[in-house]
Amino acid sequence: MSGNGGRRTQAERDAITVEIGYALCSAVFAAAVLFGAVAGPAMLFELPALAEKALLRTGQVLAPVVFVVRVVSVLLRLRAGAQPSQPGRTSPDS
């Protein structure tokens, strides 16, 4: 938050909105890719029933976990980036 009484500027609110959108979109993409990689063979090929069921269940369990981990990691990175480690400096080599 900025120093004006704890209120965020419009630019700060816009940046947060963009980061949330990025977190959600990238998490959906990562979960879909993981599900496709794990459960895809079960959908494309004729596999034994046990293997097919195991691949589908594994994909159904791992995809939401990857989604949540991705959203949390992006949003924590946003939160960590809000406070500079050295106030007044833009980068270590400045």
Q: What is the pLDDT of residues 21-79, one digit of tens each?
A: 999 999 999 999 999 999 999 999 999 999 999 999 999 999 999 999 999 999 998 88
Whole-number pLDDT of residue 92: 61
CA-based nearest residue to 38, from 61, 12, 59: 59
Whole-number Å distance between alpha carbons of 33 and 10:
34
Whole-number pLDDT of residue 30: 96
Angle between the 10-44 and 49-80 helix axes, to the nearest 10 degrees?
170
Whole-number pLDDT of residue 8: 82
Whole-number Å distance between alpha carbons of 80 and 85:
10
Work out the pLDDT band at 85, boundaries 50, 70, 90: low
